[in-house]
Amino acid sequence: MVAIANSRQAILDRLKSIPIEQPPAPVVDPQRLVRYDDPLAKFTEVLSFVGGQVHVVERPQQVSEILGQFPAFRDAQQVASSAPEILTGNIDLNKVADPHLLAYLDWAIIPGRFAVAENGAIWVRPTGPIERAMLFLTQHLVIVVPKTELIEHMHEAYRRLGQDGVGTSGPEFGIFISGPSKTADIEQSLVIGAHGCRTLQVFLIDDSSGPAVATDGGDGLAGTTPDRPVAGDSAGRI
Amino acid sequence: MTTTSQLPILLSGSGKLGHADADDQRPHRDHPTMARDFVANVQRTHWHDGALWFVRNKRDAQASSIPEWEYLREQASAIKQEAIAKLADFLEQFEANATRLGAVVHWAADAEQHNEIVHEILRQRGIGKLVKSKSMLTEECHLNGYLERRGIEVVDTDLGERIVQLRQETPSHIVLPAIHLKKEEVGETFHTHLGTDAGASDPQYLTEAARGHLRGKFLAGEAGLTGVNFAIAQTGGIVVCTNEGNADLGAVLPPVHIASMGLEKIIPRLEDLAVFTRLLARSATGQPITTYTSHFHGPRDAASELHIVIVDNGRSTIRESDTFRAALGCIRCGACMNTCPVFRRSGGHSYGATVPGPIGSVLNPASDDARHKSLPYACSLCGSCTDVCPVKIPLHHQLLAWRKEFGKRGLLSVGKTLPMRAASFVFRHPALYRLGGRLARIAMRTLPRVFFVNRLNTWSRDRELPTAPADSFSQWYAKNRGPK
């Protein structure tokens, strides 16, 4: 183990012994990024393409009405919810001490922070290890997102994660989920329902009169890292 | 059929050339020899070619759906170049942030140290069952064999990897590990190991069986090991991308999560992920993004542990070469393999290395030039790999550079050097060139076919020589285009 104890320094020394001059990568220029005329249509199209289902509803109560149309939901033995204002499950997550106890979970419902039009992904940040385990152990997953929280692309997504201080405040787990789990490892045949959820239902809840799309608002992607030039900007700064 | 797959340890800081483990000491064969069995089955070769071309087409559809695709590639390349240039600084920053979040960071100079570190973590905690998600790094280090010999059960949980693990094979592709197998073969394997119905080969049915089998393994796992797609210096977080959800199940159930990463996985900033998450899955499988893109910042709670093992294993050597440095930017999407006409027709196992295809043919000779010297020739220099690479690695230029390098290092066989020297001599003597041309045209017209098409001339194995023209090009030009 002595060799291993020295490895850190040996690796760093070796890397430092060969200095390489390289300017920082330019900041992404928001002007060059795709814009969608209808982000909701794009989101719906992409999430359907990857095997998920999108429901736009006006009232939270509609969620259980729509889910009730699925036989798999009606027959569910175990339902867990971390969005009790929308749907109550029959498992009290606060009383689950060990994630293994969720092994037979049929349905789970969780709020998502925002949805991304370009790739049908939803950012989900479970509040603790049990909620996190629920996401992957459940047979069917439901994510509810306010319809106002629909953004265009991943640049905007990571700008928001930066604003939320991801990784700066302490340990945490967050995930983009786009569709149900899947595999094509056998002869490139797509099979939905690999290890994680077999189906994904996404509800966009339109219970406000606010704007349909959370836009960049001009404060944009640039300027997050002022020491880096913007691509194509000869002044090197915004 | 089992094929050797080995990425030997590079000439590491200690100057020692060694193998990670003792389980792969079979004599090494060159690419044409290894490909022979695969190409002998013409139907299967075409099937494999078609399967990968299908993925390449899906990639094209996704790439063209993003108007700023080329801009993203430029950004990705610039970010990776920045990361590689200031690698030591970013690694230290990453370590400090990951430690602040409660992760334990380990450093391994080579494959052997990586395996030792992982084993020590498991041994100290009395862990006997490890569930793994896909990690090409652990394949490179031959971790499975190392742990199994020490009494630890290792279960690969990516479906493709589980299939090849049950068959005692190695992945033939870094993203599609079982792409070389037919569903009937998977069906036989599952019949033997998982008790599925004899003769059953429906992918839906087989996947369902694997799901049930692996759920049990997940629930029984005592530690989970994942790879790392991106490690963020700015935050100390790691990002893992999967479609199946296996990395997350492995990380969410047992109290110990070990994440193994090559040191080149570092990216400077959180916002850089926007570029890479847009490029990775589109390039790899033609999906808009992977189903799960998990961001781990520290262990999941006070009762859990997150260990991050940073591995060099020769990567720092590649960084030192101006010619090959850019190859460290590889994000392991596999697009170069899917597009490569040689890979599609010869199969991943013919490369005799953990990372096959164009990128493997660049990386492997850096670790052991003599062993992998045939790989840069498994290439027609068509340049398609360079065109699809999401981080703009100049792959075909690097493959050509290796050939030149082998010449300098005296690694080429007489069969290659002698004809080259003869050709060089002839090209420098125009009269000799003209005479040779005339004699060749006469010979091709008069000598029996067997003189050209025989076992010694490998070029003619699947090809016919063209009919010799009556005149040389110079003669033809003088007659048809020259001054009257």
User: Residues B178-221: pLDDT tens digits?
Assistant: 999 999 999 999 999 999 999 999 999 999 999 999 999 999 99
Dig out the tokens for B122 from the structure: 């498991």
Measure in Å the smallest separation between the Cα of A61 and chain B Cα atoms.
28
CB contact (8 A) between residue A11 and residue B107: yes
> Residue B262 pairs with which residues in a beta bridge?
B311
Dig out the tokens for A78 from the structure: 């175990």
Dig out the tokens for B112 from the structure: 């052997």
The stretch B281-290 carries a mean pLDDT of 98
**Could you tell me if B328 and B312 are in contact, meaning their C-beta atoms sit under 8 angstroms apart?**
no
Give the H or E element holding residue B23.
none
Tell me the residues of chain A between 135 and 154 that have a Cβ less than 8 Å away from chain B. Answer: 135-137, 153-154
CB contact (8 A) between residue B298 and residue A171: yes
The stretch B436-461 carries a mean pLDDT of 88
Share of chain A above pLDDT 70, in %: 86
Query: Would you call A118 an interface residue with chain B, using a CB distance cutoff of 8 Å?
Result: yes
> Residue B310 pairs with which residues in a beta bridge?
B107, B261
DSSP B463-477: --PPPPPSS-HHHHH
Dig out the tokens for B357 from the structure: 């295809």
The stretch B31-53 carries a mean pLDDT of 95
Query: Residue B463: which pLDDT band, with cuts at 50, 70 and 90?
Result: confident
ipTM of the complex: 0.90
Q: How many other C-beta atoms can be found within 10 angstroms of the C-beta atom of residue B466?
A: 7
Between the alpha carbon of residue B84 and those of residues A105, B80, B93, B261, B339, the distances in Å are 44, 6, 14, 15, 26
Tell me the residues of chain B between 397 and 426 that have a Cβ less than 8 Å away from chain A. Answer: none
Q: How far apart are CA B199 and CA B201, in angstroms?
A: 6
CB contact (8 A) between residue A100 and residue B275: no
Asked if pLDDT for residue B225 goes beyond 50, the answer is yes
Query: Would you call A212 an interface residue with chain B, using a CB distance cutoff of 8 Å?
Result: no
Among the listed residues B56, B310, B169, B50, the one whose alpha carbon sits nearest the alpha carbon of residue A7: B310
Domains of chain B by residue range: 55-316, 414-480
Query: Would you call B394 an interface residue with chain A, using a CB distance cutoff of 8 Å?
Result: no
The stretch A196-218 carries a mean pLDDT of 70
Q: How far apart are CA B3 and CA B401, in angstroms?
A: 28
**Could you tell me if B292 and B241 are in contact, meaning their C-beta atoms sit under 8 angstroms apart?**
yes
What does the mean pLDDT of chain A come to?
A: 89
What own/partner pairs with CB < 8 Å and gap ≥ 24 does A169-172 have? A170/B101, A170/B297, A170/B298, A171/B101, A171/B102, A171/B297, A171/B298, A171/B299, A171/B300, A171/B301, A172/A125, A172/B297, A172/B298
Dihedral angle computed from the Cα positions of residues B170, B173, B178 and B182, in that order, rounded to the nearest 10 degrees: -120
Name the pTM for this structure.
0.91
CA quadruple B7, B11, B12, B16: dihedral positive or negative? Answer: positive
Q: How far apart are CA B266 and CA B311, in angstroms?
A: 12
Give the H or E element holding residue A205.
strand A199-205
User: How much is the pLDDT for A229?
Assistant: 59
Query: Residue A1: which pLDDT band, with cuts at 50, 70 and 90?
Result: low
User: How much is the pLDDT for B460?
Assistant: 84
CB contact (8 A) between residue A175 and residue B295: yes
Asked if pLDDT for residue A218 goes beyond 50, the answer is no
The stretch B217-244 carries a mean pLDDT of 98
Among A137-146, A160-169, B19-28, the range with the most confident prediction by mean pLDDT is: A137-146
N-to-C CA span, chain B? 66
Q: State the DSSP code for B103.
A: -
Asked if pLDDT for residue B17 goes beyond 60, the answer is no
Question: What's chain A's length in residues?
Answer: 238
The stretch A174-192 carries a mean pLDDT of 96
Domains of chain A by residue range: 35-205
Q: What is the CATH number of domain A35-205?
A: 3.40.50.10420
The stretch A159-167 carries a mean pLDDT of 95
Q: How far apart are CA B221 and CA B327, in angstroms?
A: 35
CA quadruple B273, B279, B283, B287: dihedral positive or negative? Answer: positive
Q: How far apart are CA B412 and CA B407, in angstroms?
A: 6
Query: Residue A214: which pLDDT band, with cuts at 50, 70 and 90?
Result: very low
DSSP A7-57: HHHHHHHHHHTS----PPPPBP-GGGS---S-HHHHHHHHHHHTT-EEEEE
User: How much is the pLDDT for A141?
Assistant: 98
* Cβ neighbourhood burial of B388 (10 Å; 0-12, 13-18, 19+): buried
Dig out the tokens for B322 from the structure: 């101006």
Residue type (1 letter), B424: S
Q: How far apart are CA B286 and CA B40, in angstroms?
A: 30
Residue type (1 letter), B357: G
User: How much is the pLDDT for A5?
Assistant: 87
Sort out which chain A residues have CB atoms less than 8 A from B243's CB and list them.
181-183, 194
Residue B392 φ/ψ region, left for φ over 0, alpha for ψ in the -120 to 50 degree band, beta for the rest? left
**Could you tell me if B340 and B385 are in contact, meaning their C-beta atoms sit under 8 angstroms apart?**
yes
Q: State the DSSP code for A91.
A: B
**Could you tell me if A195 and B215 are in contact, meaning their C-beta atoms sit under 8 angstroms apart?**
yes
Q: How far apart are CA A148 and CA A151, in angstroms?
A: 9
Asked if pLDDT for residue B329 goes beyond 80, the answer is yes
3-class state of residue B397 by DSSP: helix
CB contact (8 A) between residue A231 and residue B293: no
User: How much is the pLDDT for A38?
Assistant: 97
The model's pLDDT over A52-99, given as tens digits with 9 standing for 90+, comes to: 999 999 999 999 999 999 999 999 999 999 999 999 999 999 999 999
Who contacts B163 (Cβ-Cβ below 8 Å, separation ≥6)? A185, A186, B177, B178, B181, B186, B189, B210
User: How much is the pLDDT for A227?
Assistant: 59
Q: What is the CATH number of domain B55-316?
A: 3.40.50.10420
Sort out which chain A residues have CB atoms less than 8 A from B321's CB and list them.
none
User: How much is the pLDDT for B54?
Assistant: 97
N-to-C CA span, chain A? 50
> Residue B438 pairs with which residues in a beta bridge?
none
Q: State the DSSP code for B184.
A: H
Which residue of B lies nearest to A181 if distances are taken between CA atoms? B244
**Could you tell me if B367 and B300 are in contact, meaning their C-beta atoms sit under 8 angstroms apart?**
no
User: How much is the pLDDT for B14?
Assistant: 33
Between the alpha carbon of residue A112 and those of residues A33, A58, B290, B468, B474, the distances in Å are 24, 17, 17, 71, 73
Query: Would you call A170 an interface residue with chain B, using a CB distance cutoff of 8 Å?
Result: yes
Share of chain B above pLDDT 90, in %: 86
